[in-house]
């Protein structure tokens, strides 16, 4: 067994665990497979919110107070856009724009997203590997009583207020996993595959909707462990619990466990959750990740569970 | 006769006279026809330096200390680009990016530059009309002993250091004047057509290289007056005098006057210049434009000369 670990992750919450993982083991043994279902084009710029959160978090540049974006950000661009009557519902920080402008330029030149992200991560000396789930566009769309919404319209513009009836991932069926994704999940020498405590419906499902990724998870010999995003019977942040209720599901680790079904071998559950019978092996821990120490601790607990599940 | 005045202009120096003109007469009577030979694409963004200088200057947003760009600018984007190993020889301010991002998006959507600039000027409540010389791309290129350079490579990256052997305007031959340009020059009721004290070779010649603009200037019944960029035998700023020397020309208003030849009916010369015989009617004035009062005074002097030349 090598020390290599792959983590499937969305943005903020998942990035915290990825950071913990990079401290729990050697960062160069970490591969993060990141949701791109939130990606969209805004003001003509290609935005990849979850990937950028990973870049900022693993480069030590994230804004820990705000919970998203860069530390030491300025907002002169947005003020100018507003003065020109431009769309201002999606906040683009001045420093953040550098990622979007460079990404947009290189995509237009024909570079795949994965190659662009690898170069950006290199420039910031990030030892972990950050892989988009796919170089093909996949767009998360939310069906509400008032019709279908683009993900960012639902998530940012409408602040998750609309009721969700269903979610789909346009383009996922025909999307190929980005280079390295399937290989890292299937890697026989891997220590573990982790599913981060990101929103299962909005952040992890787009990754699982890429057929070759789902297949690799079903077939890998490495133990697959999910970290439940439910803490003390509620979601730490974001619309996870709200969506579970809207979809008629119990807000619990059991729902998360059943949602992932036979893709996972175990689940790490928050110790404050009421004990319930699960279909997979569970371990319990304090899964709230406020400090870096918390993040490392949760990563270690997930790895311990994975180690206990080796086939 | 109406009060309408058209000014052909490059960036900084020309924008000063355009601003003076907007105070000397009603701003809504002013049409600025602006050089786009300096326009280029950088980091995938469409940049129009001279047009933006006009926008900033006429909207009261220009940085008067620096001489270019916006007041109250921040530079977080450039720092981030640098940290990512991106090109940093052309400084793009955070607020400045708003113009470039919006312009790039709308150009890609198929809008002509002139329509985009009109909307931006409207958003900033600019009463004067700002017209790009053409909606077709025209690229100023500089022939140096080491080969041909893109304008911005010569002007910004290499700080005008290379010796100029020749200048050409790629695309000008087939460029059409933007909507309104020829009409405003040919307008029988116009009070005057002014040529700003911009660099004749780099900033005004690209405009004159558009065939329909040159023809309109030759045929208009309105008096055409150039303001000489030579003050006390030298250029106020920029490479005008250096280029004149490199092209083997005397650094003087006479060179400027001969350069414009039969396109102009008169020239406003700085009172500090040595008196020389000119082929066109000349008036003398203090043409140095430090304060707003200076700018208004020079605009008035140019208009007075034009009024005296009416055919």
* CB burial of residue B147 (10 Å; 0-12, 13-18, 19+): exposed
Cβ-Cβ contacts under 8 Å between A and B: the total is 98
Backbone φ and ψ of B276, nearest 5°: -135, 160
Percent of chain A surpassing pLDDT 70 = 100
Judge: A98–B84 Cβ closer than 8 Å, yes or no. Answer: yes
Residue B142 pairs in a beta bridge with B149, B167
Which residues, including other chains, have CB under 8 Å from residue A134's CB and lie 6 or more apart?
Answer: A36, A175, A176, A177, A178, A181, A210
CB atoms within 10 A of CB A189: 10
Which residues, including other chains, have CB under 8 Å from residue A197's CB and lie 6 or more apart?
Answer: A13, A14, A17, A226, A227, A228, A229, A236, A287
Domains of chain A from N-terminus onward: 5-42+50-56+128-308 (3.40.50.10680)
Residue with tokens 């990101």: A198
Percent of chain B surpassing pLDDT 70 = 100
Residue B47 pairs in a beta bridge with B40
B170-184 pLDDT, tens digit each: 999 999 999 999 999
Range 65-124 of B in CB contact (< 8 A) with A: 70, 72-74, 76-77, 79-81, 83-86, 93-99, 101-102, 104-105, 108, 119-120, 123-124
B130-161 pLDDT, tens digit each: 999 999 999 999 999 999 999 999 999 999 99
Q: How confident is the model at residue A275 (pLDDT cuts 50, 70, 90)?
A: confident
B211-229 pLDDT, tens digit each: 999 999 999 999 999 999 9
> Nearest-CA neighbor of B36 among B188, B139, B163?
B139
Alpha-carbon Rg for chain B, nearest whole angstrom, is 18
A171-199 pLDDT, tens digit each: 999 999 999 999 999 998 999 999 999 99
* CB burial of residue A290 (10 Å; 0-12, 13-18, 19+): exposed
Judge: B77–A44 Cβ closer than 8 Å, yes or no. Answer: no
DSSP letter assigned to residue B28: G
Token pair for residue A303? 């790895």
Q: Are A12 and A55 in contact (CB under 8 A)?
A: no
B53 Cα distance to chain centroid: 9
User: What pLDDT, on a 0 to 100 scale, did the predictor assign at position A274?
Assistant: 85
Q: How confident is the model at residue B311 (pLDDT cuts 50, 70, 90)?
A: low
Q: B1 pLDDT exceeds 80? A: no
Token pair for residue B310? 């009416």
Q: Which residues of B125-144 are buried (b: 16+ CB within 10 A; e: fewer)?
A: ebebbbbbbbbbbbbbbbbb
Token pair for residue B178? 């933007």
Q: What is the pTM of this model?
A: 0.94
User: What pLDDT, on a 0 to 100 scale, did the predictor assign at position A311?
Assistant: 61
Q: Please compute the mean of the pLDDT values over residues A5-27 and round it to a whole number.
A: 96
**Measured distance CA(A148)–CA(A204) in Å, rounded:** 20
> Which is it for strands B45-47 and B40-42: parallel, antiparallel or unpaired?
antiparallel
Judge: B123–A84 Cβ closer than 8 Å, yes or no. Answer: yes
User: What pLDDT, on a 0 to 100 scale, did the predictor assign at position A66?
Assistant: 78
Between CA A56 and CA A65, with CA A60 as vertex, the angle to 5 degrees is: 80
- Taking CA–CA distances from A44, the nearest residue in chain B reads B105
In this structure, what is the dihedral angle of CA atoms A290, A202, A98, B92, given to the nearest 10 degrees?
-110
B50-84 pLDDT, tens digit each: 999 999 999 999 987 777 889 999 999 999 999 99
User: What pLDDT, on a 0 to 100 scale, did the predictor assign at position A221?
Assistant: 95
Judge: A101–B81 Cβ closer than 8 Å, yes or no. Answer: yes
When CB atoms are compared, the residue of A45, A72, A94 closest to B94 is: A94
Judge: B104–A44 Cβ closer than 8 Å, yes or no. Answer: yes
> Nearest-CA neighbor of B37 among B205, B197, B177, B215?
B205
């Amino acid at each position: 067994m090598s020390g290599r670990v792959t983590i499937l992750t969305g943005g903020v919450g998942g990035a915290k665990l990825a950071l913990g993982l990079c401290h729990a083991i050697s960062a160069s043994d970490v591969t993060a497979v990141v949701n791109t279902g939130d990606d969209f084009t805004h003001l003509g710029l290609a935005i990849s919110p979850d990937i950028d959160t990973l870049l900022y978090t693993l480069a030590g540049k994230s804004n820990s107070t705000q919970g998203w974006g860069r530390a030491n950000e300025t907002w002169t661009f947005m003020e100018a856009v507003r003065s020109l009557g431009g769309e201002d519902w999606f906040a683009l920080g001045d420093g953040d724009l550098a990622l979007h402008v460079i990404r947009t330029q290189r995509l237009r030149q024909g570079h795949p997203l994965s190659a662009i992200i690898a170069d950006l991560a290199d420039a910031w000396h990030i030892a972990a590997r950050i892989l988009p789930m796919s170089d093909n566009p996949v767009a998360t769309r939310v069906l509400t009583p008032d019709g279908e919404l683009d993900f960012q319209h639902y998530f940012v513009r409408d602040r998750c207020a609309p009721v969700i009836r269903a979610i789909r991932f346009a383009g996922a069926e025909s999307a190929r996993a980005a280079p390295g994704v399937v290989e890292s999940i299937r890697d026989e020498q891997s220590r573990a595959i982790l599913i981060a405590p990101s929103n299962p419906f909005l952040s992890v499902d787009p990754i699982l909707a890429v057929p070759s990724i789902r297949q690799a998870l079903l077939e890998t010999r490495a133990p697959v462990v999910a970290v439940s995003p439910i803490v003390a019977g509620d979601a730490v942040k974001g619309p996870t619990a709200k969506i579970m209720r809207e979809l008629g599901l119990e807000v619990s680790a059991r729902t998360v466990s059943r949602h992932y079904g036979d893709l996972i071998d175990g689940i790490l559950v928050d110790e404050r959750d009421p004990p319930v019978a699960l279909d997979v092996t569970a371990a319990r821990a304090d899964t709230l990740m406020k400090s870096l120490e918390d993040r490392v601790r949760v990563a270690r607990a997930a790895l311990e569970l994975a180690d206990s599940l080796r086939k």
